[in-house]
Chains A and B, each alone.
Chain A
């Protein structure tokens, strides 16, 4: 029997295009792994066509939707690939959503409980560099836009806050792995 190479790697960051580039690099051997992107379920795509009269969703509502999308990704992409012995790079995974939630003032306990169903990644990577503005196709950017609408200053502060939380988490991880 062949030894299983199944491995879940998470790549989290605010800048979506940098996260995707890092995710591709994280696959050790092409053909033996794949990338699971956010919104594979199309929930956020559907959300974008909703009438503005439906009201702006709060950070908590958006996080519940992100978690629903992640449950979909785990069921259809991540778990089947792991079961087949492949490397799966989840980009983004849980840390990006938690960083967004913390920047928006959502309690850590609630965030931790929300993602309790998601298995921990064997390896966690962080993309902390920001190439100017965050990409419009990233979760943090889209969620900030939905929460704050036309208020660009508030949007930028929320994105900056999420990036700061991710940097702090990356530093914590790095310190822990040195010990």
Chain B
């Protein structure tokens, strides 16, 4: 049922009051972004272990991992049946479902959410596939902005070397649906160069914290800890009011 304007207004006030209450420990959202082979998963795991040792209640969510949508995407990827639009829309649906089922409930409960890839992954990959940035960005509305976004920057050559050292990139990872290059390694190299170009623009536009992912694992981890300790004191972003309010109103309507 349609949430009334009054219900949305109440939900907006409730969202602001909840996330700006100085007596409550507020939820934090930290996103790890970067191309394949940038080492962000290693850093995410180290970061999580450290946060837990510091007493944080941590929830992790990964790209394309919702129980509802992931099977749909997996079966279509297996038969290479996705066009760029379908690829984008299905990943957008997976993201939306995780925002509503995992991320917002955890933030509301004051937990720290680590997102291994966030909507910027969708933007970078979809635009690298030739889709319009404005169209893709709007699919993700109402937008939920993380408190911190770490962007793990590597060159296309480093990404290619790290990914192909242990395995062959799969069809969509290599962008073979848009490059028309038969060799997955060569296709990956071309596609990841486009993805990284998009990521670099997004990192500037959205004020991400860039981590030089060509440094040693230990150096990166220390840098992330320091940046997190500085960044976690940032106030709650009022830009997130609409996303939280819609979720709250939807919860009320679905009850």
Contact = CB atoms under 8 A, between A and B. Distances in A.
Interface of A: 41, 43, 46-47, 50-51, 53-61, 64-65, 67-68, 71-72, 75, 102-105, 109-110, 113-114, 116-117, 147-149, 151, 154, 157-158, 161
21 contacts: A43-B90, A50-B67, A54-B97, A55-B100, A58-B97, A60-B96, A61-B69, A61-B100, A65-B93, A68-B85, A68-B89, A75-B83, A102-B2, A104-B1, A105-B3, A110-B138, A114-B138, A117-B135, A148-B1, A154-B253, A158-B1
Interface in B1-47: 1-3, 8
A71 B8 CA distance: 32
Contacts of B178: none
B253 A65 contact: no
B217 interface: no
A157 B253 CA distance: 11
Given A43-B72, A64-B96, A68-B89, A104 B67 contact: no
Contact of A51 (B67, B83, B90, B139): B67
Contacts of A57: 68, 93, 97
Contact of B89 (A55, A58, A64, A149): A64
B92 interface: yes
A110 to B, nearest CB: 6
- Mostly helix, strand, loop or mixed at chain B's interface? helix
A58 B96 contact: yes
Nearest to A63: B93
Contacts of B66: 54
A147 to B, nearest CB: 7
Given A54-B66, A71-B83, A113-B139, A46 B72 contact: yes
Contact of B2 (A47, A68, A161): A161
B135 A116 contact: yes
Interface in B96-114: 96-97, 100-101
A35 B86 CA distance: 21
A59 B254 CA distance: 11
A177 B83 CA distance: 36
Nearest to A149: B254
Contacts of B1: 104, 148, 154, 157-158, 161
Closest 5 CB pairs of A and B: A54-B67, A64-B93, A105-B2, A68-B89, A54-B68
Contacts of A114: 138-139
Contacts of B75: 46
B130 interface: no
B71 interface: yes
A117 to B, nearest CB: 6
Given A53-B67, A54-B68, A110-B141, A71 B85 contact: yes
Contacts of A151: 254
Nearest to A103: B2
A158 B2 CA distance: 7
B212 to A, nearest CB: 35
Given A110-B141, A148-B254, A61 B96 contact: yes
B146 interface: no
* Residue among A58, A110, A158 having the largest count of chain B Cβ atoms under 10 Å: A58
A51 B71 CA distance: 11
A162 to B, nearest CB: 10
A61 B89 CA distance: 10
A89 B32 CA distance: 45
A154 B255 CA distance: 10
